[in-house]
Amino acid sequence: MIYYRLNHKHQNLFLLLASYFFYGSWDWRFTFLLLISTVVDFFVGRSLHVATEVNRRKMLLTISVCVNLGILGFFKYFNFFIDSAVGLLEFMNFESNRPVLNVILPVGISFYTFQTMSYTIDIYKKKMEPTRNMIDFALFVSFFPQLVAGPIERAKVLIPQVVRPRVVTKDDLITGLNLMAIGYFKKVAIADNMAPIVSNAFSSPGSLTSGELLTGLYAFSFQIYGDFSGYSDIARGVARLLGFELMINFNAPYLSRSITEFWRRWHISLSSWLRDYLYISLGGNRHGSLMTYRNLFLTMLLGGLWHGAAWTMVAWGAMHGIYLAVHKLLLGDKKLDVSWPNSFVGWLVNLVKIVITFHMVALTWIMFRASSFTSGMEYINGIFAFDDTFNIAGNVLFAALLIVIVDIAQTKTGNHTWIITKPRPVKYVLLQVLFISAVAAAIFQINTVVPFIYFQF
């Protein structure tokens, strides 16, 4: 109510204060990291714009990259590299004293670091001009709906929305609330209900049968999708209530027919960021097939490390890198066909491709969720032991059915807010079902806290 009654300048200031309050409510000390990245990139961006000498421009960009990745590297990877070094020394029979410094991982640091880096890189590439207003730029970096778990917005898309006056229409309110309803349904009614099954399966994989492990894997596949895409929907909905349009971060990824298509549908803001700022910088597909495969593998390997400072995340990224390289090898020079055939045989073939792709992705989720590399391998070995019939729990199958129905509806209509396009009685019934399901699930889980999975990144 306050926001709608302010003029544009005061709206931005109000949102900036709200964003810092939001982030500081977790731990106010880490707002200084957010401020450091903001101040450095604001002045680097302005200097880059007026600099003409190549060496000076490279130096300025290096400052931005080193500051941002230096902060990210210290807080996210210090413990990982120290523990890895100690483990290596112990493996080589050297005595070592483990440092007592335990570095806390600031929430959302991977997201806002990539977001603010896109600003200086795009100015360096002369794809945009810097903003002259520190308040506007600070709001771009810290915008609270997507600050801690994305989508990772590009500066050339979000900053113009910050700079120009915004008018919130009735359609914005309806669309925003619709996105939030879908998001809360995915998170609370689906993802959080999968959490106990997942925790049980991954806490002691050696004591479970193949069927129980497969149930746990399916449960996590739909938990992480409902959890993360649900957050993205909520973030987009909240932003829409404030007059902002955030990018679509998920587009029915489990309906993908290949691993390449999957990464065009899953965490789109990250996969497109890695493509534009890492894969292309490594050379992309410009230097022959072998270099293309190498670049795909390295991009996904670093993408896995972005997700978490653990060897399990490195393994997860490596698996996807191998998948993409092999698919590129099989695809050759042909473009990816994303059309859907009309014939029954073509439809059936594509359905088989969806099932295969889903299980390839699900296999990688084991390493993503496992507490250690050893535990992950134990989980994989347990699934392929085939010591039990694969009876999947009914609530997992029901969650899968709900996810598929929502995704098919979004894909068929090409609209993530397709519910509000339906006749009034149908629209109201569907929205009430989403709302009541989320509230009922929340009441049922009243004593259980299930944080958003991607808050740890």
Task: Tell which residue, 107, 143, 131, has the closest CA to residue 17.
Answer: 143
Alpha carbon distance 19, 143 (integer Å):
6
Alpha carbon distance 131, 111 (integer Å):
21
Count CA atoms within 13 Å of residue 173 on its CB side.
6
Q: How far apart are the first and last CA of the chain?
A: 32
Annotated catalytic residue 307: yes
CB 72 within 8 Å of CB 109: yes
Residue 183, token pair as written in the block: 């998001």
Burial of residue 81 (CB within 10 Å: 0-12, 13-18, 19+) is exposed
Task: Tell which residue, 203, 205, 198, 132, has the closest CA to residue 163.
Answer: 132
CB 248 within 8 Å of CB 146: no
Alpha carbon distance 160, 119 (integer Å):
12
Do you find a cis peptide bond into 151, omega within 30 degrees of 0?
yes
The residue annotated as part of the active site, out of 267, 307, 320, 327, is 307
Q: Which DSSP category does 168 fall into?
A: -
Tally of helices (H runs) and strands (E runs) in the chain: 18, 0
Length of the chain: 457
CB 452 within 8 Å of CB 227: yes
The single residue listed with the structure tokens 């994305």 is 150
Alpha carbon distance 402, 407 (integer Å):
9
Q: For 197-346, list the strands marked E by DSSP.
A: none
- Cα 288 off chain centre by: 30
SS3 assignment, position 256: coil
List residues with catalytic annotation.
Answer: 307
